[in-house]
């Protein structure tokens, strides 16, 4: 039975009404800071270039430090006329809350806010400090958001012990999957040079498409590793090939190839770069390559945080959660290298980034209870 009056649902709706498309926070963070100030949370608004970030902390230098991390920004709506409602005017239909950000991830932000309020009402002096790390740059370039906040914290030796990222990690029902790590993401733009010419005189030209094709076939067929207990094998995927003038009778002078690795802890970014460049050289290509490392893989093995999360989900939802490192990257990649234990716990992700994004009201209620129980497990 849905509970549309639940404080998590009310707060989620308040957040959805703020059209915070990356990097515009639309004052979501300020609203949350004002709401939590009476509970003793000190707000530090950290703006880097056009990105708003919020470090909201209670408990001073007490340890351990438990952090809820998330993003107030959302992806663009896409064609507004394709939505069945105004994407920034939330509606509940048949137990589902509709609106941009409902699942990714304003619902999670509301859930951990309410969970903290309830936990502190029962335990006003917890065994440690609690903080929120919020950014408006997760859905965008991710260069002036969480990474910069973490650099600020590291510079003053402020260490996070446990971090829960509210990304929509679940598959069918809230809590059925949590992420205890993520694969690394390494992208590349490869430009192969040839010689433009007339298709009738191929001997006077060099077709870069023909030249690079055998190398791409070899890369696509390569077995990079076997993965490990937590990670699937490293994958290589070509995402785009651009070349030519648009005319059928012109051999192009250049070919541009975009590809990406999603890699496990069995690999390093530098190792993958070296393997690719060695193979391209072996094929005698005249090439230039630009690499973009979006994030290294990270893993939180079984320990205090993972065990507490498993117990909390079992107690609230009655299920044994699955540990997974699948999916894309998250801001957890910036927090884990500091030594923090990091997991992602959130609602189902079936409609994220889609037209008519929505999430079950019951899912957000359960998520709130899971977050509160997790705090009980670790800080009560």
Q: How do strand 162-165 and strand 177-179 relate by DSSP bridges?
A: unpaired
Distance CA 44, CA 153 (A): 11
Distance CA 333, CA 299 (A): 9
List 104, 137, 138, 139, catalytic entry: 138
Residue-wise burial string across 32-68, b where 16 or more C-beta atoms lie within 10 A, e elsewhere: bbeebeeeebebeebebeebbbbbbbbbeeeebbbbb
Query: What tokens does 332 get?
Result: 């957890």
List 25, 52, 73, 104, catalytic entry: 73
Q: Which residues pair with 178 in a beta bridge?
A: 323
How many CB atoms lie under 10 A from the CB of residue 85? Answer: 14
**What is the full DSSP assignment across 173-191?**
STTSEEESEE-EEEEEEEE
Does the annotation count 138 as an active-site position? yes
Which residues have a Cβ under 8 Å from the Cβ of 303 and sit 6 or more positions away?
341
Distance CA 139, CA 92 (A): 25
Distance CA 102, CA 16 (A): 7
Tokens 């920004």 correspond to 73
Query: What tokens does 1 get?
Result: 């039975």
Tokens 């707000």 correspond to 43
- Report in angstroms the alpha-carbon separations of 142 from 7, 146, 149, 188, 314: 30, 7, 11, 18, 33
How many CB atoms lie under 10 A from the CB of residue 77? Answer: 17
C-beta of residue 164 within 8 angstroms of C-beta of residue 345: yes
Query: What tokens does 123 get?
Result: 């335990």
- Report in angstroms the alpha-carbon separations of 246 from 70, 205, 255, 258, 260: 44, 17, 13, 19, 26
C-beta of residue 201 within 8 angstroms of C-beta of residue 213: no
Does the annotation count 73 as an active-site position? yes
- List residues with catalytic annotation: 73, 138
């Amino acid at each position: 039975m849905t509970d549309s009056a639940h404080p998590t649902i009310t707060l989620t709706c308040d957040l959805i009404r703020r059209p915070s498309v990356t990097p515009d926070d639309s004052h979501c963070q300020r609203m949350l800071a004002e709401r939590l100030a009476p509970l003793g949370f000190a707000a530090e608004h950290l703006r880097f270039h056009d990105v708003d970030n919020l470090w909201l902390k209670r408990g001073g230098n007490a340890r351990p430090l438990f952090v809820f991390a998330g993003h107030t920004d959302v992806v663009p709506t896409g064609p507004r006329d394709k939505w069945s409602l105004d994407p920034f005017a939330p509606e509940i239909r048949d137990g589902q809350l509709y609106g941009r950000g409902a699942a990714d991830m304003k619902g999670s932000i509301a859930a951990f806010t309410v969970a903290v309020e309830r936990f502190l009402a029962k335990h006003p002096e917890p065994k440690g400090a609690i903080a929120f790390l919020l950014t408006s740059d997760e859905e965008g370039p991710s260069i002036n958001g969480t990474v910069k906040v973490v650099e600020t914290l590291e510079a003053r030796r402020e260490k996070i012990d446990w971090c829960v990222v509210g990304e929509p990690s679940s598959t069918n029902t809230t809590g059925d999957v949590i992420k205890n790590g993520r694969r690394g993401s390494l992208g590349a733009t490869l430009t192969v040079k040839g010689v433009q010419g007339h298709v009738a005189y191929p001997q006077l030209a060099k077709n870069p498409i023909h030249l690079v094709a055998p190398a791409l076939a070899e890369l696509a067929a390569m077995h990079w590793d076997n993965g490990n207990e937590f990670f699937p094998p490293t994958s290589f995927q070509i995402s785009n090939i651009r070349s030519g003038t648009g005319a059928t009778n012109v051999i192009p002078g250049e070919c541009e190839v975009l590809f990406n690795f999603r890699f496990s802890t069995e690999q390093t970014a530098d190792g993958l770069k070296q393997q690719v460049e060695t193979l391209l050289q072996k094929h005698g290509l005249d090439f230039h390559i630009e690499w973009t490392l979006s994030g290294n893989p990270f893993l939180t093995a079984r320990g205090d945080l993972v065990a507490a999360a498993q117990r909390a989900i079992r107690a609230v939802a009655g299920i044994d959660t699955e540990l997974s490192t699948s999916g894309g990257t998250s801001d957890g990649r910036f927090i884990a290298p500091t030594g923090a234990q990091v997991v992602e716990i959130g609602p189902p992700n079936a409609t994220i980034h889609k037209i008519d994004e929505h999430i079950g009201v019951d899912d957000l209620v359960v998520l709130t209870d899971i977050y509160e129980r997790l705090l009980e497990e670790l800080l009560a």
